[in-house]
Amino acid sequence: MADDLDLDAMLKRFRDRAHAVKNRPLPPVAGEERARFIEQAQFDFQDFAIIGDAAATVADGVLTLTIDLRPPSA
């Protein structure tokens, strides 16, 4: 399985999903439903973007995603 895993392609799919979430139109909902939809879209974007920005490695059959959460240096 690990030999068949294209890490760059996997991370690109997460970046593509983040982009799709950020650019998807709002459904015709209002009020509380609209607020929940927007909140979920923000979480989806954040999750997909974080994983899309990860550095991925496979060692001894273990996939490791390294994610630097430190703020950018000035």
Domain spans, the chain: 2-66
Note the pLDDT tens digit of each residue in 21-30.
Answer: 999 988 888 9
Q: What is the pLDDT of residue 40?
A: 94
Note the pLDDT tens digit of each residue in 31-72.
Answer: 999 999 999 999 999 999 999 999 999 999 999 999 999 988
Q: How far apart are CA 18 and CA 46, in angstroms?
A: 7
- Say whether pTM exceeds 0.95: no
Q: How confident is the model at residue 19 (pLDDT cuts 50, 70, 90)?
A: very high
Q: 12-42 b/e with 16+ CB inside 10 Å = b?
A: eebeebbeebeeeeeeeeeeeeeeeeeeeee
